[in-house]
Structure 1
């Protein structure tokens, strides 16, 4: 289970994990229009219920579940979920760029990481400004 400090480090700026502890929000299997970012609250919420919801289970290291809205208990010991194939696809939304890069890093063997990051940067440049890509890469790789 992630400590509060680790949860802050692992989650993106649109995640309720930046402000709430594990168990105080639901975890969805992936981003969707049904879980938009709420500028008022500062994190994603399920549009139909208003429940804070993380959309990257692999980042919070628990399986998708209705932890806040359904009372599902947090797992006590489990293998963190791996990024799904959908997590490895270049997003169209810039707020998901960091999560995409992190999914690529977590699913790439160390010996292939340099090649994977170079390909990711080239692909991302087709859709996002260089400064946005650099900022996301720095956050993912721990350089600021």
Structure 2
């Protein structure tokens, strides 16, 4: 059996009944918020879609983009929108990297490095990333 996405870390921001605490990424969907599409099941404390897919309703807490990972086999992808002002890069990237799901960190770092070089060719992308992670 695959490891759960959140592996017993009691300090993790994921809710105590989040499917990320018992299932690996790809085995549950992530919705933007609670909705009628994923009602709460009082029998076990989880939320499910009509077809029985477990649902997390706090993407910011688990660091995953909203997507139908299980029910529609959506790919897990990192997406960045760098600020136009280079002075905002370090705080923006700090928040993105520290809020990201661990499975996305490599993607975010590679994407950020390429995007910094593309949008801000005068900046040292490695230095910006080091400061963001420091």
TM-score (norm 2): 0.47
TM-score (norm 1): 0.44
